[in-house]
Amino acid sequence: MKQFDRKVAIVTGGAQGIGGASARKLALNGANVIIADIDEEASKKNVENIQSSGGSATFLKTDVSKSPDIKNMIDFTYEKFNRIDILVQNAFPVISGASRVYGDAVSVKEEDWDYGISVLAKAIYLGTKHVVPIMKKNDGGSIVNMASVHSILQEPGMLVYEAGKAAVVGMTRQMAIEYGPYGIRVNAIAPGHIVSEGLKKVWDKNPSGLKFFENQYPVRRTGIPDDIANGVNFLCSQEASFITGHTLAIDGGLTIQLQEQFGLRQGRYVLDNPDTNMFGPSAEEK
């Protein structure tokens, strides 16, 4: 008997990257997975990947910036399986559209604020709104919201992302309090830099930059999608049944290190490796 046999899971942004790995992990452990994503081609590849390993997956074209799509995602899944146990709210176009929301309060266009907040924050409110009545009928469930180290630490030029990701942590805590009595646990994960399929293509053009970037991390590496999928799997499992409202940092220690020591270490690294191209993926490259 597998951990999630007979369970039904929805993963938004489940075609690739963190969501892709999470969909594969939950399916490997027995869940029937709905991949709710805008990218049809990548989603179908992930569905095939899961099915060829003996798992169950279905693609549903979904744009989480659109309210009717989110309602349809929940209705479709409930009609198909008559239950929903897990909702992983992860979609955001790190590779294909993050640059649209870059900027500060002065420079960000109002329509880009609205778009960014709709995907980063409003989608999580709407997904929860529609899934909770169904999870209540099942006697519970687990919701995992994708936050970020940007929920905790701030960067110039990232107003919309930081605001949206901070909201993820706040909503997660509020929802955990609200729905705990119904057996519904709500947690978040705050990943550090995760080299998804898309980010790998960018870093492959700048290997010395990746090494410099990795040196920032106490564990001296950046993450891979499976690092986060393992956290998603754990938070959805029975082993986490007393954990709710928590934001789990999976960041190789990035957010707990003293900044002065970090600056010295990076300075020494560049002195020792003078050919380093220090600049990480730019907005344009993403």
**Smallest distance, ligand NAD to C-beta of residue 243, A:** 20
Active site residue 102: no
- 3-class secondary structure, 260: helix
Which residue lies nearer to ligand NAD by CB, 27 or 95?
Answer: 95
Helix intervals (H) in 138-277? 159-179, 197-203, 207-214, 225-236, 259-272
- Provide the pairing of β-strand 32-37 with 141-146: unpaired
Cα–Cα distance for residue pair 181/55, rounded to 1 Å: 32
Phi, then psi, of 94 in degrees rounded to 5: -55, -40
Interacting residues toward ligand NAD by CB under 6 A: 12-13, 15-19, 37-39, 42, 62-65, 90-95, 119, 146, 148, 191, 193-194, 196, 198-199
**Smallest distance, ligand NAD to C-beta of residue 179, A:** 21
**Smallest distance, ligand NAD to C-beta of residue 5, A:** 26
- Output the CA torsion sign for 110, 60, 20, 231: positive
Which residue lies nearer to ligand NAD by CB, 130 or 193?
Answer: 193
DSSP character string of 161-181: HHHHHHHHHHHHHHHHHHHGG
- Please give the residue whose beta carbon sits closest to ligand NAD in the complex: 17
Q: Quote the tokens at residue 199.
A: 């980010």
Which residue lies nearer to ligand NAD by CB, 149 or 243?
Answer: 149
Cα–Cα distance for residue pair 264/270, rounded to 1 Å: 10
Which residue lies nearer to ligand NAD by CB, 8 or 11?
Answer: 11
The one catalytic residue in 161, 179, 182, 269 is 161
Which residue lies nearer to ligand NAD by CB, 44 or 275?
Answer: 44
**Smallest distance, ligand NAD to C-beta of residue 193, A:** 4
Q: Listing from the earlier edge strand, what are the strands of the sheet with 184-191?
A: 56-61, 32-37, 8-12, 86-89, 141-146, 184-191, 247-250
**Smallest distance, ligand NAD to C-beta of residue 8, A:** 19
Residues catalogued as catalytic: 161
